[in-house]
Amino acid sequence: MGQTSNPKIKRALVSVSNKERIVEFCSFLQEEHQVEIISTGGTLRTLLDSGVKAIDISNFTGFPEMMDGRVKTLHPKVHGGILARRDMDQEVMKENDIKEIDLVVVNLYPFVETISKPETTLEIAIENIDIGGPSMLRSAAKNNKYVGVVVDPTDYDLVLDELQKNEGCISEKRRFELAAKAFSHTAAYDTAISNYLSADQNKDFQENIFSKYQLKEVLRYGENPHQKAAFYVDSEESDNSGISNSSQLQGKQLSYNNIADTDAAFECVKEFEEPACVIVKHANPCGVATDKNIVEAYEKAFASDPTSAFGGIIALNRELDKETAARIIDNQFVEVIIAPGVTEEAIQITKTKENVRVLNTKKLGPQVKGHKFLSVTDGMLVQETDNGVVIKEDLKIVSKRQPSEEEIQNCLFAWKVCKFVKSNAIVYTRENQTVGIGAGQMSRIDSARIAASKATERGFKTAGCAMASDAFFPFRDGIDAAAEIGITSIIQPGGSMRDDEVIQAADEADIAMLFTGIRHFRH
Please give the residue range of the domain that contains residue 260. Answer: 248-360
Work out the end-to-end distance of the chain between its first and last CA atoms, rounded to an integer number of angstroms.
Answer: 63
Number of domains in the chain: 3
Phi/psi region, residue 431 (left: phi>0; alpha: psi -120 to 50; beta: rest), is left
Q: In angstroms, rounded to a whole number, what is the distance separating the alpha carbons of residues 107 and 151?
A: 5
Domain assignment present for 495: yes
23 with 72, same domain? yes
Q: Give the residue from 430, 423, 416, 425 showing the smallest Cα distance to 304.
A: 430
Q: Judge if 302 and 425 occupy the same domain.
A: no
pLDDT value of residue 385: 85
Asked whether residue 111 falls in the same domain as residue 158, the answer is yes
32 lies in the same domain as 149: yes
Beta strands in 29-147 (DSSP E): 36-39, 55-56, 103-107
CATH number at residue 503: 3.40.140.20
* 179-204 average pLDDT score: 76
Residue 215 belongs to some domain of the structure = no
> How does pLDDT run across 238-276, given as a tens digit for each residue?
677 888 889 999 999 999 999 999 999 999 999 999 999
Residue 455 domain flag: yes
- Rounded to whole angstroms, what are the CA distances from 316 to 225, 277, 397, 463? 29, 5, 32, 29
Shared domain check, 313 and 460: no
Position 114 pLDDT exceeds 80: no
Prediction pTM value = 0.71
pLDDT band at 2 (very low <50, low <70, confident <90, very high): very low
- Gap between the Cα atoms of 478 and 480, Å rounded: 5
Q: Which residues are catalytic?
A: 142, 282
Q: Please, what is the Cα angle at 259 between 255 and 260, to 5 degrees?
A: 115
- For the stretch 290-304, pLDDT in tens is 999 999 999 999 999
Q: How far, in Å, CA of 424 to CA of 362, rounded?
A: 32
Three-state secondary structure readout of 13-55: EEEECCCCCHHHHHHHHHHHHCCEEEECHHHHHHHHHCCCCCE
Flag whether 171 is in a domain: yes
User: pLDDT tens across 352-409, in order?
Assistant: 999 999 999 988 876 767 778 888 888 878 888 888 889 999 999 999 999 999 999 9
Classify the C-alpha dihedral 325-330-331-336 as positive or negative.
positive
The reply to whether 153 falls in a domain is: yes
